[in-house]
Every structure is written in structure tokens, then in C-alpha cells.
Amino acid sequence: MKKNKTFDYSQLMAHIFKIYKILGFWRPDPDMKHKNLYHCYTAFWLSLSITFMSSQVIYMYNNRKSLKEVLAALYITLTFVSILARQLTTYKAMNELKEIIKQLNRPLFQVKCQKHYEIAEETNRNQRLLYNICLFLGVSTDIFAALFPLFSKEKVILAKAWFPYDWTKPFNYFMTYIFQNAVLIWHTFVCYSIDIFTFILLVQIGIQCDILCYTLNHLDDFYFKDGILHEISLRDKLELRKDMEKFSKAMVKNLVVCVQHHREIIKLAKDIQRIKEIGIFVLFASGALVLCTCLFQLSMVQFGSVESMMLLFFSICMLTEQFLYCWFGSDVIYKGSLILQAAYNTPWTDCNSKFRKILLQLTTQACCPLNILAGGLFIMSVPVFISVLQTSYSYLTLLHSIQ
């Protein structure tokens, strides 16, 4: 008998949790030291964020008769509102998310053989490159946003907003510049941490589906002990095959674990959906309008300027963010569908009727599509992203016709 390796899923979120704590976004544990001070730190950043958005809302109201001025502030305002909505829903459900991370390290979700370990390691290694690309796009946008006011021929600020003072005076301008850039950087990393955390959770659903599919495809490579599956040696496997009655009983135990595993995968998907659906819905509800207003602003500035680069990277960030949500949503659907196919690859022809009845239960259970709903209205998938692009293009065409 071979000894199982272990895979620490919580380590995948360790760097995200560090970012949460630095940003004041972490929900403190009851025994955390200086908890009240940390709450004040959280309230400070949240008040800056609300002040930033309020100044833009007032600016848009004061200039409501000018479509150009409203659009100049709208894309940032909507983006920050979307981030704030996802931040508040995530913060509210932080304890539940912590519990989900603990659940991922349960024996049922753990790797059970070398191939399982390779599946988990390879998938997460591939995702790290993607996460670094997201970080690069976000930081690049912040850099161009910081440089834009400095390279402008006129005295401008990063985001058009209303202030109860004359921001053109040197000291006031400096403080306004620091304020807006600090809030932008804070929102960038809050958005990055929320999105990457969600992506990691969606990837874990895919990994568990891959692990379950491999287990079903090689069900006779495992044996049941202490409530979980272990990899069996070739010698014991051949020995087990000699007694078909004993083999059937062993396969029944293995299949029962697979049925439990599948149920827990469905529960994991539903828990993630319940926690994240409002935030994801707000993202996609505002996504088309944010994209079209940002692209409209891009068409109004000189291409090659620092402002155009800021708007270009901002647009790419928004496109990448929404595409990845849809991509991972489609990945969950696809990998969930493979479980039904894998169920037919079990050695059911060599097993008794009890095995076949349990297998029928698994196939019936696997017939229901595994997906993530956003706001209970639409399934997160690539076709939804295409719809967002089409809607954005329609809005952009409308704005240009009005202009």
C-alpha cells in the first residue's frame, strides 16, 4: 500500500490574505490583538473611498447637462462602486470563506495518489502566471494614472471630481494628487485580491472535478480505509481481482466515497455562488457601461499620450477581469460535465447490482449541470462575456452618434 501525499490548499490563498490584512480588508478573528485599532484602519480607508466616489457623484450632478463631463467621471465611479460592492459582500462573508478554505483541506478533498497531486500542482502552477499578468495590468494602470497629471500640458487631476476648495493652488493640488492616487492604488489591490481569491476558489472546483474524474476512471487503483481512499499497490490490486465478490465490495466502498465527493463539490460550488453572486452580478451589470464609457474617453484623447495609455490599460483590465470570470465559469461547467462520462468508465460490468444502483445514483446526480449563477439571473460563462462586449459596442455607437 502506498502512502498518500497531501496538498495544502490554504497556502494558495496565503498571499491574498496578506494583501487583505495590509489593505484593512481582513475581518479580524475574535482573539486578534489591537482589533479595535484595526477596525479604525479599515474605516479610514473605507471613508476615503466613499469620499472619492461622493466627490465624483457631486461633480456629475453639477455637470449633468454636459454628457462629455459626466462620461469623464462615470467610468471610474462605476468601477469603484462595483469594487466596493464586491468588497462589502466579501467582508461580510469572510468567516464563511475562511471555513471554505478549511473544508478544502479535509481528507475527502485531498489528493489520493501521485496523479492527483500532479493535477493539482500543474493547474495551480499555470494559474500563477495568469495572476501575475493581472497584477501587471493593474499596476501598469496605476503607474500611467500617476504619470498622467504630471505630463499633462494643463493642470489636471486624475479623476474629475468636485472639491470644497480650490484644487488648483499648489498645496491643494499636491494633496488632491496624493489623495486620488492613494485611493486608486488601494482600489486596485482590493479588486485584485477579491478577483484572484474568487478565481482560486473556482479553480479548486475544477481541480476537484479533475481528481474525481481520474478516481472514477481508475476506481480499481484505490482502496477504502478510515473513511477515505488510498492508492493501492499493483500486487494488492491483482490479488483483489482474483476474488470478484471481494472486488465488488471494495468497489462499492470506493464508489460511495466518489458519490460523497461529488456532493461536496456541488456544495462547494453553491457556497461560492451564494457568497459571490451579488458582487459578480454588480460587476457584469455595470461592466458594459464601464467599458463603453472608458472606450469613449479613449477615442476622445490623442493616441500615444500618457492619458491614452492609462485609458487603454484600464480598458484591458476591465476586459480581462470580466473575461476571466466567464472563462473560469465555463471551465466549471465543462469539468463538471466530464464526471458523467467518467462514471461510465468504472468497472461496473465486473461488479454486483449494489454497485450499479449506486452508480445510477451518481449518474443521475451528475446529469444536473455544475455552474455558477450571477445574481440568480445568468450563468457565468463565455457567452455572457460575448454579450457584454456586444452591449458595450452598442452603447459606444450610441454615445458617438449623440456626440
- Tens digit of each residue's pLDDT (9 = 90 or more) over 232-280: 888 887 787 777 888 888 888 889 999 999 999 999 899 888 888 888 8
Kindly tell me if the per-residue pLDDT of 106 is higher than 60. yes
Which one is predicted more confidently, 259 or 302? Answer: 259
| High-pLDDT (> 90) share of the chain, % | 16
Kindly tell me if the per-residue pLDDT of 58 is higher than 90. yes
Confidence band for 1, pLDDT divided at 50, 70 and 90: very low
**Confidence at residue 214, expressed as pLDDT on a 0 to 100 scale:** 92
Q: What are phi and psi of 243, to 5 degrees?
A: -110, 100
**Confidence at residue 148, expressed as pLDDT on a 0 to 100 scale:** 86
3-state class of 282 per DSSP? Answer: helix
User: Domain span at residue 165?
Assistant: 9-402
Number of Cα atoms under 13 Å in the Cβ half of residue 306: 14
In a domain, 4, yes or no: no
**Confidence at residue 2, expressed as pLDDT on a 0 to 100 scale:** 46
Number of domains making up the chain: 1
Mean pLDDT (whole number) for 44-52: 91
Q: Cell numbers for 44, please give them.
A: 479610514
**Confidence at residue 384, expressed as pLDDT on a 0 to 100 scale:** 86
In a domain, 169, yes or no: yes
In a domain, 25, yes or no: yes
In a domain, 1, yes or no: no
Mean pLDDT (whole number) for 272-291: 84
Which residues 6+ apart lie within 8 Å of 351 measured at CB? 247, 248, 251, 252
In a domain, 275, yes or no: yes
Q: Cell numbers for 190, please give them.
A: 482590493
Its pTM stands at 0.86
Kindly tell me if the per-residue pLDDT of 5 is higher than 70. no
Mean pLDDT (whole number) for 283-304: 82
In a domain, 240, yes or no: yes
Distance CA 167, CA 149 (A): 13
Block residue for cell numbers 455637470:
63
In a domain, 312, yes or no: yes
In Å, how far from its chain's centre is CA 369? Answer: 20
3-state class of 229 per DSSP? Answer: strand
Mean pLDDT (whole number) for 161-165: 89
Helix (H), strand (E) counts: the chain: 11, 4
Mean pLDDT (whole number) for 117-134: 82
Confidence band for 4, pLDDT divided at 50, 70 and 90: low
- Nearest residue to 186 via CA among 150, 136, 138: 138
In a domain, 3, yes or no: no
Contact 236, 1 (CB under 8 A): yes
